[in-house]
Amino acid sequence: MTRTDIPPAVLIGARPAEGHATLTRMGIPFLCVVDPSEKLPPVAGALEVIEAPYRQDPLCLLNLPLPRRVCAVFSFTEFGLLPAALLSEALGLPSVPVGAVLRTRNKLLMRHALAGAFDGPQFGVVGRDEPAADVFPLVAKPIEGSGSRGVEFVADPAEYLRRRTELAGLLWERCVDGPEYSVEAVSFDGRHRILGITAKRTTGRPHFIETGHAVPAPLDPAVREEIDAAVRRCLDALGVNVGASHTEVKVENGRALIVETHTRAGGDRIPLLTRLVSGVDQYELAVQSVLPWADPHERLPEHGHAAVHYFPWQDVVFTDGGGIDACRSAAGVVEIELQVGPGDIIPVWRHSHERPGHVVIGAGDADELRQRVASVDALLRSTFG
């Protein structure tokens, strides 16, 4: 039920749907600003939906005809983070600082900021900073990219020289060798609450597209402490003081090295996994971090372990949805989504947006979770030809 005794919030971006669903569930009235380029889902609960090209022009929000009083500005989508921070600071409202958003959105700025806080992988810009021969292999990626778009693996100096013109301007980093995790957190006035650590699976070289996530990550206590400490230092170094964060980490020879971080909740249904095993909702806590009176809902954990599993098929044709229907009633299935229809060709993935769909599964323990994921895979094999 929406409260009528408080001024509205402003929500930048209609996606993810958890953003407006959270504000509605917590009883916070809100206006929603959508970009003309967005394919919009229904924005349930909004007092008003306003169109503005914030993706191309973050400062355009300063010209919106907003109410005289606004309680907060939120965005849970990558391209809304900077506009939301700019508008918050202009209105004198609590927010992740603009500088912190810039340092997390721009991977080169992030690397420079972190270099002053602790050791990390060697890095530079292709065509400007030449990597030494002992730094290889490398990963090259766009300085402001997302969703694994444009990520390239460079094996050795010979390949680097051959591709230097093609990759010019990309950020290069030493390819860290080790398992990858993400850390979900919410910051309250500079105090960082770690909600969970997620184990990640990827396609590996050359594009490192994520194929699944599992919570909680199976970790030795010493490694868990190393990851926890590294993420806290990272958030402090970047100036993240409020709101949700999603930090990707690799562990190499017992050391936690930061891959990148974001001032938003993670994608790939990771906040749902965290809630299923902990009862804690990252979106609700992010709202509370700037509106202390907004109490999150109390929930009990629903599962001991949870995972999101992306359907792994590539370079195949989707034939029918019979297997999908059977999966919906399979043990532990919480959610299943499909992005393709009969006759669609599923390409060899180049980035995460080409994955055909996913299933979220919960279980009592890690062994049961693995069995349930395998059962779903078996049901789905007849769906692809």
Q: What is the mean pLDDT of residues 379-383?
A: 68
**CATH superfamily label, 180-290:** ATP-grasp fold, B domain (3.30.470.20)
And the tokens for 274? 């965290």
Q: Quick one: pLDDT at residue 36? A: 92
CATH of domain 122-174: 3.30.1490.20
pLDDT tens sequence across 257-277: 999 999 999 999 999 999 999
The domain limits of the chain are: 9-95, 122-174, 180-290, 305-383
Q: β-strands 345-346, 9-12: how paired? A: unpaired
pLDDT of 184-218, one tens digit each?
999 999 999 999 999 999 888 888 889 999 999 99
With beta carbons less than 8 A apart as the criterion, state whether 261 and 158 touch.
no
Instruction: Establish whether domains 9-95 and 122-174 are of one fold.
Output: no
pLDDT tens-place string over residues 60-103? 999 999 999 999 999 999 999 999 999 999 999 999 999 999 99
3.20.20.80, 1.10.1740.10, 3.30.70.260, 3.40.50.20: CATH of 9-95: 3.40.50.20
Q: Which helix (H) or strand (E) holds 273?
A: helix 270-278
pLDDT score at 342: 85
Average per-residue pLDDT in the chain? 93
Distances (CA, A) of 307 to 66, 73, 201, 333, 365: 41, 31, 11, 10, 11
- Residue 328's nearest CA partner among 274, 281, 384, 375 is 375
Q: What are the Cα distances from residue 103, in Å, to 143, 158, 261, 269, 316? A: 11, 32, 9, 24, 39
Judge if pTM exceeds 0.85.
yes
Model confidence at 383: pLDDT above 60: no
Supply the pLDDT for residue 177: 92
